[in-house]
Amino acid sequence: MADESKLSATEGIKSESRFLRGTIAEDLGNDSDEFEKSNTQLLKFHGTYQQDDRDSRNKGEGGRSGKQFSMMVRSRVPGGRLTAAQMIAQLDLCDELGNATLKCTTRQALQLHCIRKENLRQVIHRINEVQMSTLAACGDVNRNVMCCPAPLQDAVHIEMRRLTEAVKDHL
């Protein structure tokens, strides 16, 4: 019988991470364009994936350069409902600090791409300012609670939205 107390590498990182903090703050303070490997696992729980922009690798001097890192930042949109101000804030972020592309996912989330590490703190702060969150938008967690976002006012749709909020708050 296998030893069930042995943690996987990822679970070990989480266990030693000081409640998913790791050394993310220290990495944000250095000049590197990438995060330490263990922090890339923890960033997922903060709605962020570190990505290598393969397209920009060949744009350096002589046609080849090293890896070019950027972040994908995912915001949760419980029930698929967001305000005009929230949508405008996301669009502004993708234009100002991303690659001018905002992606809507099949799980009713919004993704900003090509966010530079140096801008990550500002991006998440601005998302939070409009009452949105990146927390638990990635990783091995419940990423979102989905529901029909149609603004219908019949009893069934009102109850669906109420239940969506209750499940979101519970999780």
pLDDT in tens, 61-73: 656 567 889 999 9
Any domain includes 57: yes
What pLDDT, on a 0 to 100 scale, did the predictor assign at position 59?
Answer: 65
CA distance 106 to 110: 10
CA distance 127 to 147: 21
Provide the number of structural domains found in the chain.
1
Domain limits for position 164:
46-170
What pLDDT, on a 0 to 100 scale, did the predictor assign at position 29?
Answer: 93
140: domain CATH number is 3.30.70.2500
Any domain includes 106: yes
What is the mean pLDDT of the segment spanning 147-151? 88
What is the mean pLDDT of the segment spanning 141-157? 88
Any domain includes 2: no
Any domain includes 35: no
CA distance 163 to 86: 22
Tokens of 40: 């890339």
Any domain includes 28: no
Tokens of 14: 């989480």
Q: For the segment 80-120, what is each residue's pLDDT rounded down to a tens digit?
A: 999 999 999 999 999 999 999 999 999 999 999 999 999 99
pTM of the shown model: 0.84
